[in-house]
Amino acid sequence: MSNLVLMPILIPFFGAIFLMLLPRKVMVQRTIALITSVVLILANIYLVYYVYQNGIVAVTLGNWPAPFGISIVGDMLAILLVTTTSLILFSTLLYSFYSIGMPRERFLYYPSVLFMIVGVNGSFLTGDIFNLFVFFEVMLMASYVLLVLGGTKVQLKATVKYLLINVIGSAFLVMAIALLYSMIGTLNMADISQKIANIHGGNTGMITVVAVLFLFVFGLKAGIFPLYFWLPGSYFAPPIPVLALFGGLLTKVGVYAIIRFYTLFFYNETSFALPLLSTLAIITIVLGVIGAISYYDMKTIMIYNILIAVGVILFSVSLMTREAMTGAIFYLIHDMLIKGTLFLVIGVIIAITGFSSIKRFSGLMSVKPSLGWTFFIGALGLAGIPPLSGFIGKLLIVEGAFAVQHYVGGIIVLLSSLFVLLSMMKIFSKGFWGEKKGTFTLDIPYRKMMVPVLILLAISVAYGIFSEGMYPLIDKAVDPLVDPSIYIQAVLGE
């Protein structure tokens, strides 16, 4: 039964393999990809139930005892993130059918998407640091292909930069793993955690150096200050469904890796690494806010909103209290859902108006009021207005920050919500209200494009309204984060 935890990796993997056999049959590609994602959702929902009933499922591949084989660990946090990933995958695939275009679909678009999901799910579930590197590479290779697929000039330019940054990042990740291996002598996460705590008391200088090196690597993937410089340019290039996948998933894998590493290995680094993380996170929020309010381009505004969310989550992780951690997990899942939704909404707007700059059009409300109100609800959710999904996470984060007397951070998180709302309302008021300006193409399959958007939005609204019901799950996800011995026990089984 514990082999079930491999399903989130195996289902998209076999889906992708099968799709590579029939690259030119577009209808087959669409059907199989969609079926794969539905099966993935069902498997994940069952896994959530299973982990809720039985606690962490850990399986060490090939029947080797735990520290010697590769462990796949499904704790509640990983399973919840994998489930969110599959929901975003489903909606993005539905959206792709009507927007990505035949040429891309005929050149291995769907297999690439599924391979990226393999990498993302694997990164969430793995319990071995070198295996984490391999899954990162699976994810990144697929993302290079998705970024460049279509071969327009702007995509080529962006891919050159994105690829170079990630090659360097991966080299540093291997370097950090090599340094950690030379000190600890193991690659299994639970075992590393135990040995760092036992041998060194977690307080030697080299451990701090490695902690900062890992922060550098995962910060590069997640886009924190001062390592986010590649993100606005690269994310501007790909078509909307790919952008929704990237914005919803890729940076969040970096965030997840930081959460996992800092709660499991480096929770004792209170003298240097944790204050560094908290400072960088706060600066990230501030710079993200500056970017979000200074542009008039919808995609760029949303891309800077990714940075703000990454900053907020990492700030609350750096506090290392139970309350702040609960807030971080609430906010992480909310953010994946809402970013997916909003990128897709913006895609519909661009499909109708032809421009992504809100200076080029206005008065969209008179043509498509339903689109306007969809965007409005999504924007309020992003800013964290009470009944919607962003509220509870931010509330817990701010409470957590005030509880440990980190007033500066708490107030900056609060103020950032205001500016997020400002940047989103700028799009709403300039693009949707006012005199009708610009040419609107209305012969797009509007209703079909709105279905995936509304599915994601409905999930996100429900997540906000029924956050009381989500609480037991999130609570279970936080347990191993604040008490690593639960995780270690589940993997090493002592």
Partner 1 sequence: MELLMSILIGLMFMAATYLILSKSLLRIILGTAILSHGVNLLILTMGGLKKGKAPLLDTPGLPAYNDPLPQALILTAIVISFGVTAFFLVLAYRAYQELDSESVSKTRGHEADDE
One of 107, 130, 216, 376 touching partner 1 (CB under 8 A): 130
Q: Which stretch binds partner 1 (CB under 8 A): 104-112, 171-179, 386-394, 483-491?
A: 171-179
Give yes or no for residue 297 binding partner 1 (CB under 8 A). yes
Of residues 46 and 68, the one with the C-beta less far from partner 1:
68
DSSP state of 325: H
- Residues 6 or more apart whose Cβ sits within 8 Å of residue 198: none
One of 4, 107, 137, 462 touching partner 1 (CB under 8 A): 137
Q: How far is the CB of 123 from partner 1 (least distance, A)?
A: 14
Residue 482 and residue 46: Cα distance in Å, rounded? 25
Binders of partner 1 among residues 450 to 489 (CB under 8 A) are none
φ, ψ at 55 (rounded to 5°): 80, -170
Q: Which stretch binds partner 1 (CB under 8 A): 256-264, 266-274, 352-360, 485-493?
A: 352-360
249 is written with which tokens? 């998933």
Give yes or no for residue 179 binding partner 1 (CB under 8 A). yes
Helix axes 273-294 and 298-319, enclosed angle (nearest 10): 160
One of 85, 278, 300, 467 touching partner 1 (CB under 8 A): 300
Of residues 85 and 143, the one with the C-beta less far from partner 1:
143
CB 396 within 8 A of CB 330: yes
Give yes or no for residue 216 binding partner 1 (CB under 8 A). no
Give yes or no for residue 296 binding partner 1 (CB under 8 A). yes
188-to-19, 57, 63, 275, 471 alpha-carbon distances in Å: 33, 16, 15, 26, 30
Residue 395 and residue 493: Cα distance in Å, rounded? 36
Residue 48 and residue 301: Cα distance in Å, rounded? 34
Of residues 159 and 416, the one with the C-beta less far from partner 1:
159
Q: Which residues pair with 60 in a beta bridge?
A: 71
Place of tokens 């769907």: 110
194 is written with which tokens? 């135990």
Q: What mask, x for binding partner 1 by CB under 8 A, covers residues 141 to 170?
A: x--x---x--x-xx-xxxxxx-xx--xx-x
Q: How far is the CB of 356 from partner 1 (least distance, A)?
A: 7
Distance from the first to the final alpha carbon of the chain: 20
Q: How far is the CB of 9 from partner 1 (least distance, A)?
A: 17
Q: How far is the CB of 296 from partner 1 (least distance, A)?
A: 6
80-to-196, 462, 483 alpha-carbon distances in Å: 28, 15, 19
One of 114, 187, 285, 449 touching partner 1 (CB under 8 A): 187
Q: Which stretch binds partner 1 (CB under 8 A): 25-33, 289-297, 307-315, 329-337?
A: 289-297
Place of tokens 């936080």: 478
Binders of partner 1 among residues 376 to 395 (CB under 8 A) are none
Give yes or no for residue 134 binding partner 1 (CB under 8 A). yes
Residue 47 and residue 57: Cα distance in Å, rounded? 9
CB 346 within 8 A of CB 240: yes
Q: How many residues bind partner 1 (CB under 8 A)?
A: 44
**In what helix (H) or strand (E) does residue 142 lie, and over which residues does it extend?**
helix 129-148
Q: How far is the CB of 113 from partner 1 (least distance, A)?
A: 17
Binding site for partner 1 (CB under 8 A): 130, 133-134, 137, 141, 144, 148, 151, 153-154, 156-161, 163-164, 167-168, 170-171, 174-175, 177-179, 181-182, 187, 232-233, 236-237, 295-297, 299-300, 355-357, 359-360
